[in-house]
Amino acid sequence: MAAVHARCAAKFPVHSSRTVVDLFENAVAGAPDKVILRCKVAGRWQTTTLEQWRDISARWALGLIALGLEPGQRVAIAATTRREWMFADMAIVLAGGVTVPIYPSALADDVAWLAGHAAIRFAFVESHDQVAKLAGHRAALPQLQTVIVWDDQPGAAAQGPGLPGSALDWLIRSADLERLGDATPATVLADRRGGIDAGDPCTIVYTSGTTGRPKGAVLSHGAFVFEALACSTALDVRPDDCLFLFLPLAHSFAKMVYVVCMALRTEMAIPASMETLIADLAEAAPTVMPSVPRVFEKVHTKIMAGVQAAGPVRQNVFALALRIGKRVAKLQLDGRQPDALLRAQHELAQRLVFRKIAAVFGGRIRGFISGGAPLSPELAEFFFAVGLPIFEGYGMTENCAAATVNKPGACKIGTVGRPITGVEISVADDGEVLIRGANLMLGYLDNPEATALALDSEGWLHTGDVGEIDSDGYLRITDRKKDIIITAGGKNIAPQNIEAHFKNCPFISNCMVYGDKRKFLSMLVTLDEYAVTQWADQQGVRSTSFAELAQKPEMYRLLQEHVDARNRGLASYETIKKFAILDRDFSIEEGEITPSMKLRRREVTHKHQGLLDSFYTEHY
């Protein structure tokens, strides 16, 4: 079946945990007073110890049981990343339930469909906006009994703006849930814990749904325990670290990171909001930060825009420092050290340039963890050069997020690393990447046909990704099978890699490469508002709106220069011959990207089919 195969042969340390409840209880018992959460709330950093977390989650769990939650029933969480999300998640599993995360950015129709498909019994929400999404479809959700609104919402149990009166009997506050829990015998939790098996469902994470309705990947307690133990050694995360967590916990990547930190008792710092992220990041001064490539792209754009605005002298200093940083990074990645002269030059580059960049992240960052989408090698090289290494990994919702990782001392830029402990990776004859290990899903909820396509009789997960394994066992992902473009000339092209290549342009926010069965490739481009506005101010290009600015001929000429420059790094058949600039970015509301920020190619293509077709007419 498989043309190339790689596995990690190392064995797990002995561990008594069989379920996520065991992981949690063991973490609490080992260090009850350890601060595990540091969250920015109402302008102040507030801390939560493991014992405090356990107390709140246990009371909520008992409250859920008092409301009638039975083992195996499903409870939704619709909220941004915050400590209450974690309190609710552990409450659900302590009560023997199954967590179903919902992106807070998801549209009402999608939320209602998911709640119906998963037969949600209860739901935790952070705002009346989330309640309204469910209330508008209440008649279609007969199994949804109670919606719990967190107490920081004004009038949490009262009618919120836009809520129908019929929703009122749905709502209770989290304080009400605690009171119900206080009146329930605590011994019930021991009974529930004894009834949970490693093979029981723990979480159902719905996939992005880039080509249709999402599928609910059923992930077991044992899969999460396996993943937590494997990633405890695979990821460079330690008990004395501070990990900055802002990624949506509805995403399997963030959920995996949080479970690993819980198991290791690693402190997690959570910002107040995405709007305050940069300021909160500097204050939290984390040592490790997981993120997605989109964030690194935005940071790189702002750094380069700042350099561009700094004047020729500082531009030259930055360029020299970057060249020195790249030389040092290359040596270190090859397992070598710089000589005395290069070390001295590097120390000067750090003092003049790199430490200022590190200060944006609080000054203590030891490394970033990247996942969720392909990371451009050029972007990785940049961050390694400035002393902020990004270690890229790979996995899917269907295998609890991580299957391979790069890490200090074992990292190759341009790859997603080697398999984590206990996981096997194969590349089939057609190039598809296959994964096997105890972290795989049980299947897709109520979808045996899709499950049979994803999981074969030999225990391999068919990822749908195309890749290759090098002689050292590092995996390189080239694209999604379904996204491969075959040109009229018969060339197979991976659009994701080309898109990542062009998104290194500071003025490009997003893009979509097109050209299946066509003579050449074309591209739709959206602009980075910050970088473009800065450039326009410097150049004296006036406009009344960003949409108008995006359509200015000066903007097209600027983009053409960058497209031409980026084309020089591609094979001739991969180059972009024609492109168009859209007047706004892709959005969830317009159905162009998923809540996890993945591009919905079919929807974008359909919406702009006329424009795309025009690239291939003779008069264009």
- Asked whether the whole model's pTM tops 0.75, one would answer yes
DSSP 537-555: HHHT---SSHHHHHT-HHH
Whether 450 has a pLDDT exceeding 60, the answer reads yes
Whether 603 has a pLDDT exceeding 50, the answer reads yes
Torsion angle, alpha carbons of 98, 101, 102, 103, to 10: 180
CA angle 182, 82, 295 (to 5 degrees): 165
Q: How far apart are CA 403 and CA 396, in angstroms?
A: 8
What integer pLDDT is reported at residue 199 of this predicted model? Answer: 97
The pLDDT tens digits for 461-491 are: 999 999 999 999 999 998 888 888 988 888 8
End-to-end CA distance of the chain: 47
Least confident of 19-33, 290-304, 398-412, 601-615: 290-304
Q: How far apart are CA 497 and CA 494, in angstroms?
A: 6
User: At 594, is the pLDDT very low, low, confident or very high (cuts 50, 70, 90)?
Assistant: confident
Q: How far apart are CA 88 and CA 92, in angstroms?
A: 6
* Cβ pair 205, 101 in contact under 8 A: yes
The pLDDT tens digits for 331-367 are: 999 999 999 999 999 999 999 999 999 999 999 999 9
* Cβ pair 53, 23 in contact under 8 A: no
Token pair listed for 209: 């749904």
Q: How far apart are CA 359 and CA 303, in angstroms?
A: 12
Instruction: Calculate mean pLDDT across residues 376-400.
Output: 95
Q: How far apart are CA 174 and CA 180, in angstroms?
A: 10
Instruction: Calculate mean pLDDT across residues 117-134.
Output: 94
The pLDDT tens digits for 194-249 are: 999 999 999 999 987 666 788 999 999 999 999 999 998 888 899 999 999 999 99
Phi then psi for 262, rounded to 5 degrees? -60, -45
Q: Could you tell me how many residues make up the chain?
A: 620
What integer pLDDT is reported at residue 617 of this predicted model? Answer: 85
- Mean of the per-residue pLDDT values of the chain: 91
What integer pLDDT is reported at residue 234 of this predicted model? Answer: 85
Whether 440 has a pLDDT exceeding 60, the answer reads yes
* Better pLDDT: 40 or 212: 40
Q: How many CB atoms lie within 10 A of CB 82?
A: 22
User: At 15, is the pLDDT very low, low, confident or very high (cuts 50, 70, 90)?
Assistant: low
Whether 417 has a pLDDT exceeding 90, the answer reads yes
CA angle 209, 419, 460 (to 5 degrees): 55
What integer pLDDT is reported at residue 157 of this predicted model? Answer: 46
Domains of the chain: 20-196+242-272 (3.40.50.12780), 291-363+366-481 (3.40.50.12780), 484-614 (3.30.300.30)
Whether 9 has a pLDDT exceeding 50, the answer reads no
User: At 435, is the pLDDT very low, low, confident or very high (cuts 50, 70, 90)?
Assistant: very high
The percentage of residues in the chain with a pLDDT greater than 90, rounded to a whole number, is 77
* Cβ pair 267, 35 in contact under 8 A: yes
Strands (E), 261-359: 267-270, 288-291
The pLDDT tens digits for 138-174 are: 989 999 999 999 976 544 444 444 444 555 678 999 9
CA angle 587, 588, 593 (to 5 degrees): 80
Q: Which residues contact 379 (CB under 8 A, 6 or more apart)?
A: 293, 296, 297, 300, 390, 500, 504
Q: Which residues contact 328 (CB under 8 A, 6 or more apart)?
A: 338, 342, 346, 385
Token pair listed for 552: 């200015």
* Better pLDDT: 379 or 617: 379
For residue 617, the Cα-to-chain-centroid distance in whole angstroms is: 39
Q: How far apart are CA 123 and CA 130, in angstroms?
A: 10
Whether 25 has a pLDDT exceeding 90, the answer reads yes
Closest listed residue to residue 121, CA positions, set 108, 134, 105: 134
* Cβ pair 478, 467 in contact under 8 A: yes
CA angle 71, 77, 80 (to 5 degrees): 155
* Better pLDDT: 9 or 492: 492
Token pair listed for 517: 């069965």
Least confident of 219-223, 262-266, 302-306: 302-306
* Better pLDDT: 156 or 16: 16
Q: Residue 439: what residue type?
A: N
What integer pLDDT is reported at residue 597 of this predicted model? Answer: 80
DSSP 410-440: B--TTS--EEPTT-EEEEETTSEEEEESTTS
